[in-house]
Every structure is written in structure tokens, then in C-alpha cells.
Structure 1
């Protein structure tokens, strides 16, 4: 067991009186010469180190998610909870919620992350009525604002849980019952208000049940129209209250629905352009969701960025061999290098960031595991940042790509790219030049180049 086991015997009011709940752990230091088994130190993440004109802190914009880290229990569809935290009393009371929030900010501060994220129902108990629920949320966010001011930790984004409550069993903005849609709209109204109150710089929509289980009882056209009109109401109210944060949609192909309308980046972008929402929303990409859609880890990040719609990243990974959403911490440096190359190429993620939408394994039951998991992921991204910077500066991979498309830099290729060529002109070109000479894609060479940096 962890050295923190005795904490379970302490009074649960100790947190409120200012005592530590992670005793023996101070601010996590940067120690580049640490040995392989020293896992409570940063070996690569040096927040104030300047790379490519910005500090690591500014490039990476790390955030801890509240739902997995402080509401996760280790339960899964086949097993009961395993993560028994010493600050929890088993209730859904306001006192427990406030205690948990204080513990969270101790964690954020000691870890040294600049941001946090939450769902409305993560931090505040739901009441018997919307009015009671909103009063609870007001009270909790008053404390959150106080703790933000004390620690300097800021809110990266807020979001609303529109999928867990039974009322949302058939969706929220796509629900066939207008009464349920109206409830979701009222919940988002409050969510926008408290996110603005806490200085959040983004607001995220994940359509956890915006989809279908069978087409036999589903009118897809009407449901998509309703979702678009829901988002238009959001834009109107966002502007009305002066919330200047970025609106984000997070794609996912399945789970819990059989099929979700936000299947992947390309599906979401098609939706945004169809309904004229592309200037008001960007995408929050989760790589674990991308692999569930059958793509490689960085695919949706590359696609969203290519369309100037990459807003933020839920930085996690999964086990593609399992085929479900495992929300693991990103420890693969090749993956983090690929992500950071995209981030650098587009000039950064601001106001978005790298949010650790991850959960420790249900077998990782020690309190130290909470720190080690985040530290390891932060180090992996720091290494990815350094690798990507060097890769871009030396330019070998970009030169390979440029050479591959060089035929579009002049002549007929340039006119095709500019949209000024005609079919007749292409035919004349072939009559003159004949059969094209095949060129190698050199995939293995590119992979070997990347391996040099990783």
C-alpha cells in the first residue's frame, strides 16, 4: 500500500481546515538526471524552459480533468469500485463536494498544471429541481473561484453532462422529446454562466448520447436539424452574456450510442459547414476516440488542423486491440511527437490546451499513482515537443513532403491547384507528355526519419 494509507483514518474535515491530503508530496520538481525508478519528478517537463520562442508551459497548456481524476472510482462494466479515496464519505452532499474540490486544487497546485476542466455535475450535486441544482452549482463555483485565486490555477474549459441522467437516455439536443431538449438547453445556459464566472476560455460539447441505437425509430434529418438549432441558441446566449470563450465539439464514433452524430473530425466539420456553424465552433480532439473511429492516433488532429478547426486536445490514448474507450494516459513518445508537430505547425493551441482526459487503471489504487500518471504523461509531451521542434527545424520530413508535391508548384500543376485549369488543357498535356513516370511514396524512408528523432 501507499505511504498515504493512514490518511484514511483522519477526520474528513481536515481538508477544510487546511491540512494536506497528499502529505509527503510537495511541488513536483524538475530533475533531468533522475533515475528510471524516480517517478515523482519531471525528467523532461521544465515549465519555464523556452523552446521555439515560448515556454513549455505556454506550448503545452496542461489541464487536469476533474471527472476521471476526482470522480473516478475504478468501476467498470465487470467490476465494482477499487479507488477508495480518503477524502470521500460516500455521500453526494455539498460538504463532500466542497472537500473534494479543495483536495483537487491541492493536487493541481502540487502538480504544477496551469489549468483544470470539469463537467457541471462533476463538481456539484444535482438537486430535486433545476433551481436547487443551480443554487448548488453557484455555491460550489464560488469556492472554485476562491481556490483559483489562491493557487493561480485557471479554468481551461467547462462543459455540461448531458448524458448520465436518465432524462438523457435518448439524447439531449437530439432527443425526440422537446421537453428534454429544453431541459438540456437550460442546463447549458447555466453551464455557460458559471464557465464565464470562473474565467474559462473554452466551452466543450461532447454528444455522449447524440446518436441512435436503431434506425427503426429515428429521424436522422430532424435530429440533426434540432442539434444545429440547439447550437444556434448557444451562440446567441454566449454573445448575449459576453462570454468570449471558444466553443468546441468533441468527436466520438460510438459508446454509449451505437452510432453518434459526431463520429469523427470530418463528420463534425461536415455538420458545421452544412449548418453555417464553422465560424463559431472548433474541435476538441480526443485521440482515443480517433482510434475508435478506425483512424491512427493523430489522424483527427491533423485533419482538424488542416481545416483550421483544431481548438484543443483531450490528451489520452487507448488500446486499439481492445476496441473500446480506455482513456489511458499518453505515454507513447512517438504519438506525442506527432501531436506536437501539428500544434507547432499551426502556431499553438491557445486558447485550447492539452487536457488529460485520462483515468488511472482500476488496479492503480495508491494516491501516488494519481501523480505518477500525470507526471509521466507531461514528460511524454515535453519529449514530444522537443522532438517535434527539432524535426521541424531540421526540415528533413517537410522537404520530403514538399518534393512529393513539387509538380504542383509550376506549370499545369500550379494551374490545377489554383483552380484555373480545364479538362481540355489536361488532355492536351497528356497528348504532349504521354504516360506519367511513377514516383515512390518512400513511406519506409519517412518512418525511418521519424524514428531518428523519437
Structure 2
């Protein structure tokens, strides 16, 4: 057992007027929103890697955290699991997520690493019998070890491709065994640093075949969850192949996987790609790819992925409005892919970071839901496109030709006039709810 979180109580909802640091002010798991419990809408997950494996380094400095479970032994890995499930209990978190390398020590061989991993998976399974927290998704770390410096699926060395495939198989097996609801692939090293040594066509074919094997294995083992790709444009690679939602969709179409794979969209990655979070969510929904989200934020004065906890209700409300328009989460959820600042050393900091983020998300979701239920924004959107509901215009779009449309314009002497998009009016409407 562990006393790392000694004297920290389980967090409960106390309302907006609570004076306690260790309380939820806006996140009431049992509150009904749009006829459904708030917990079931938001489906919060804790990221194992940032919360329990990250040592507090940055590009210019090393470890600042001193955690009792740091170390490459199975005993330390089990202590880490004890601490993790204690934190899940304090937060009453419904889900968690992990990479294989987050939870087990690296062995001297693949076989030893696999044995370590399987032992920890069994330890997780025993924990989950006595705790309420479930597995939102599992994934493989195919980017940290030096063997992946030139990629995993796209590596020029076939042996690295094979090692990566074997690792993904083990992680998919573990995800299924633990009842995980999704399996995620993030290609942190699937990209290039220079075209001088890169064969784009070959690497694309390798990546496509790798993903086809993942999908085949999903069906072979009867995994009922979703396969998700997490887009990111760069960092650590100069250019990563899963740049954004649109790029991922083109890749899936190329290899016939657009009905098999969805996306896990991260706020910070969307910003790095030059988009907004809500843009990526809306596009994923329109393409039938929406799966899950990684919730965090970037520092807008920095040019890299800072993975901070969310603190802006208006920003998050825009995102959750698109989640609601997409029909909400099914297997997906809100995973906090966010980490403490290097100077936030205390156990309390880890709890309070999540508690504050959960409150921000709850407040944002409720604002977005209220606007959606009001219907004003959706009515304004429908009105803007109402002309396309006319039978003549439906026919023009479905079966018209340039000749027939030109004849119609000449016969009716069309003289279309511009109409206001009413952006400021809609922004004012939005701000009445947020």
C-alpha cells in the first residue's frame, strides 16, 4: 500500500460556493444534463504517463519530481499502480489510459519486457476487481526508446517494424483483457526529419499495411472497442504523417480503412496543426471519424506542445458543443493528456490539477448543452442553408449539369444578392450561454 496521498480526502461535489480546495464546484457526476448523467457524458480518464511516469523534465532541464515509485523494478511498478488507483479513488475517476512503457520496467529482451507487462496487467486486473475505475484505452509506446528514432511502422529497418508489431499485439491483448473500450495509435516518430534520406512512398505503404494488420487482429481476437489514430503535425518529427484529421482521413481512404478506424483528437495537437480544437472535432464528425478526445491546452506564447491542464471554460465549451453535435461519446471519453508544471512538486498538486480540469470541463459542457438544447444556434445554421431544401435546388445538386444550370440562370434572370452571415449576432448568442 501507499501513503503518498496521505490525508487527502475523496473529492465530492460541494457546489459553486464551496470554500474547500478539495471539492468539485461544477462537476456533479450524478447531475442530469440532456437526460443523462454528467459522468456518463464526460467520461473522464486519467493519463498514466503524465501523472505517474513523467519525471518533470523539459527540453532544457531534467527531472524535478521525486516519486517513491520511480525505478526499473517490478516492485516499483506495482507501487506505482497502488498510487494510481488511490488517485483514481480520490477523484472518483471512471477511466484511465496507459502505454505499455508507462506501467512496466524495460527488460533485457522483448520476452522479458513482455513478461513484466503481462504481470502488471494481471496486477491491474486484480485492482479493477475492487475499484470502480475502468480502462478507457490502451496503447503502445513506439517512440521513446532509441530503437524508434527513425519510426516504428515506417522504420527503414524491418526488425524495428517487427518489434513494433509484436508490441502492439501485446498491448491490444492487454487492452482486451482489461475491458478497454478503445485502442489508440499515436505515431510520434512516424514522419521524417529530412527528405534527403526518406522514401515517402515506401513509408506510407509500411504504415498502411501495419494499420491493416492492427484492424485484422482486432477482429481476430474479438475486440469490440474502437481503433483510434491520434493526429499530430510535428514534434518530435519535423513532419508527422498523421498531421491532422483531414490527413488521417486521406490515409485511411487510401488503404480502405475509413470505416474501421476513428480519431482521438487532442486540443494541443490541433493548435500545433494550425487549427482550433472545435474545427478538428467538427471535421471528424462530418467525416464519420469522431471517437475520443485528449483534453489539455498549449501555452499560446510557446511553439510546442506544453500539455497543460485546461483552464478556459469558453474554449472547452466550443469543443464540447461539437462533441454534442456529433452525438456524444460512445466508446470514447475525455482523457486528461496533461501534466503538472515542473515546479508543482506536491501530491496535492496532482489531485488539484485534475479536480480543476474536471470542473472546467463540467462547466463548459453544461454551457454547451444549454445552448444546444435552446436550439437558437442550430436554427440559425439551418436558416442559412434553407435554400438548399427547395426541391429545384436539391435536383440541381443531385442531377444538374453545367448546361442545365446555365439554362436555368438565363431563363429566370437570376441576380443573387449577398446575405449577412450574422457572425457577431451569433457570437453574442454564444456568450449569453458561456
TM-score scaled by length of structure 2 = 0.97
Residue of structure 2 aligned with 1:80, choices 59, 62, 79: 62
CA contact (8 A) 1:213 1:259 kept: yes
Q: Using the TM superposition, name which of 278-287 and 423-432 deviates more.
A: 423-432
Q: Using the TM superposition, name which of 284-293 and 425-434 deviates more.
A: 425-434
TM-score scaled by length of structure 1 = 0.93
Shift of 1:100: 0.7
Residue of structure 1 aligned with 2:85, choices 105, 109, 118: 105
1:163-206 deviation per Cα after TM superposition (whole angstroms, max 9, x unaligned): 01111110000111111101100111111111111111110000
Residue of structure 2 aligned with 1:34, choices 7, 17, 22: 17
Task: Report what 1:438 is aligned to.
Answer: 418
Task: Report what 2:99 is aligned to.
Answer: 119
- Hey, what's the Cα distance between the residues in 2 that align with 1:428 and 1:111? 66
Task: Report what 1:280 is aligned to.
Answer: 260
Shift of 1:265: 0.3
- Hey, what's the Cα distance between the residues in 1 that align with 2:267 and 2:245? 11
Task: Report what 2:214 is aligned to.
Answer: 234
1:427 and 2:413 aligned:
no
- Hey, what's the Cα distance between the residues in 1 that align with 2:413 and 2:333? 49
Q: How does 1:50-449 map to 2 (within 5 A)?
A: 50-85=32-67, 87-88=68-69, 90-417=70-397, 419-431=398-410, 432-449=412-429
- Hey, what's the Cα distance between the residues in 2 that align with 1:116 and 1:132? 25
Three-state SS of the structure 2 residue aligned to 1:222 is helix
CA contact (8 A) 1:64 1:115 kept: yes
1:207-263 deviation per Cα after TM superposition (whole angstroms, max 9, x unaligned): 000001111111111111111101111122222222222100000000000000000
- Hey, what's the Cα distance between the residues in 1 that align with 2:21 and 2:355? 8
Q: Using the TM superposition, name which of 298-307 and 284-293 deviates more.
A: 298-307
Shift of 1:399: 1.5
Q: 1:393 to 1:108 in 2, by over 3 A?
A: same
- Hey, what's the Cα distance between the residues in 1 that align with 2:171 and 2:113? 11
Query: When the two structures are aligned, how many residues end up with a matched partner?
Result: 433
1:123-180 deviation per Cα after TM superposition (whole angstroms, max 9, x unaligned): 0011011111111011111111111111121000000000011111100001111111
Shift of 1:411: 4.1
- Hey, what's the Cα distance between the residues in 1 that align with 2:320 and 2:276? 15
RMSD: 1.3
Shift of 1:99: 0.3
- Hey, what's the Cα distance between the residues in 1 that align with 2:54 and 2:185? 20
Q: Which runs of 5+ in 2 are unaligned?
A: none
Three-state SS of the structure 2 residue aligned to 1:148 is helix
CA contact (8 A) 1:34 1:41 kept: no
CA contact (8 A) 2:282 2:326 kept: no
- Hey, what's the Cα distance between the residues in 2 that align with 1:212 and 1:413? 46
Task: Report what 1:49 is aligned to.
Answer: 31
